Chain A
């Protein structure tokens, strides 16, 4: 097993643990972002985090922490702007994103030792330079993200699924949205060493895109996304060691490969299902049910209704001929 062979190297062990943490946490946050149609917001936070990294390099503070401060601040600003205005929100977000990148580049140039090249490790990931201290930080942050989002999963689901309804039943919608934004920011910072700030959204979004091709419930989608996130992270990091490629890009290419396979698989599945499946009248206006006037026939695991000489069985939003 090549992965087991990798475990003899300290730096690869740390890299794999970091990848595992990101693979677990990123899709969990990502599913709510996908549900809210905010798939690209992680990228915006990545831009803001870059300014934080640069500030860290300039002041000599730990870049992880300055990036965390910047990303969380940016996340709160983004969410408040979104909650406030409707028309200007989009543009305000753009200002924040560009400001992050521009600020990062300028701040790093002010540092006596810094050149924009110092940012490369953060832009594209530098997982093998992860120190033991980094790893502890990432583990704590990823743990906080996972526990918080799973504990509040029901509420985050309700707010992302239908914010207006959530408000009507008395859920604190703005607080929950702010919380999700902060969780996203934390995930961005945890992921930046693994996949890099430019590819941050990939691990939040792609595993969910894959799960959406295969699953028909939220719970299954979440589990499938997390499993995919873990698998592509570990596979990508292992491959990057042997192929001597950057870990971030390799992980993302793995994820895209899985996405293409899943899309093909889903297409084949749908084609087979369509062949085997005879739908009743396209416009079946009547809805069968107890006392609907048609005779019901219990048939193994389902009920057929006798309808003008043929049998109708319920199937996802329509009736099949049986």
Chain B
């Protein structure tokens, strides 16, 4: 699945990330090539979410160098250039709320970084939004109030929002958490389709579960450092061990696998 000529789309060298001056993620080196599907695994509080939030400009890069798609990322904020090319699917169970908005309206907001100064939607922009909705099988619900959809469907709407800017890299935070079995299958179908399209994926997750088939590489984060980086092992796919994972014990291969959570019944 990797391109014959490796082309790094994410490159971190000696990177520390935090929300204040205190680092949560320490001294990380990580290179992701175009076309890879990387699962970022770790317990709650391990720093895996902070790691990807640093890439998204949602946490501060304190030291080291970050290059995304060959362009350096500054310590503060994020450019629209990166915003358009690196899609983000936040960890969220629901979208919308006080004001009604359709799937199409929410997905359209993902197209913003590709729009011009004034922000008009052109024909090509509308087509990209329609294609993004179709890619996650939500076409029949495109003009329905997003709050009326099921949790799994809302999650897919957020994926569509990230796809609307036609990103080269997609960062997903816990895409399967709290999603029922049937929706997980629909979700896995959508992800497989993205892989076929050549999108590079970075998936932060407790359990690889339904996505095991497409993941090409696993990165395990423990106490803010990368503890494992290599092929996905069977032990990481998500056998329920029932343990709550606030503490990490011997993540390199102990009997307990606290960075993995049961698929159902968590949270």
A-to-B contact residues, CB < 8 Å: 31, 34-35, 37, 151-152, 154-155, 157-158, 160-162, 164-171, 208, 212, 215-221, 285-287, 289, 314, 316-318
Residues of chain B touching chain A, judged by Cβ–Cβ distance below 8 Å, are 56-58, 77-84, 88, 90, 95-102, 105-106, 108-110, 112-113, 115, 118-119, 121, 137, 140-141, 143-145, 148-150, 153, 161, 165, 180-183, 185-186
Alpha-carbon gap, A76 to B50, bound state (A): 30
14 A-B residue pairs with CB within 8 Å:
A151-B118, A152-B119, A154-B109, A161-B95, A161-B101, A162-B109, A166-B109, A168-B88, A212-B98, A218-B100, A287-B182, A316-B144, A317-B149, A317-B153
Give the nearest-CB partner of A290 in chain B. B137
- Cβ 8 A contact of A168, one of B78, B96, B185: B78
Tell me whether B100 and A216 are in contact (CB under 8 A): yes
A contacts with B: majority SS: helix
Residue of B nearest to A216 (CB): B145
Whether the Cβ atoms of A169 and B113 lie closer than 8 Å is: yes
A167 to B106, CA, bound (A): 15
User: Number of A-B pairs whose CB atoms are under 8 Å?
Assistant: 124
Contact B100 A171 (CB under 8 A): no
> How far in angstroms is the closest Cβ of chain A from B204?
14
Say which residue of B56, B105, B140, B165 sits within 8 Å of A218 (CB atoms): B105
Instruction: Please provide the 9 A-B residue pairs with the shortest distance between their CB atoms, ordered closest to farther.
Output: A170-B83, A169-B83, A158-B109, A170-B80, A285-B182, A216-B145, A218-B101, A35-B99, A168-B88
Q: Is the CB of B149 within 8 A of A169?
A: no
Contact partner of A285 (CB less than 8 A), chosen from B78, B97, B108, B180, is B180
Chain B residue at minimum C-beta to C-beta distance from A215: B100
A161 to B105, CA, bound (A): 10
Q: Contact check: which of B82, B97, B153 meets A170 at CB < 8 Å? A: B82
Cβ–Cβ contact B140 & A167, under 8 A = no
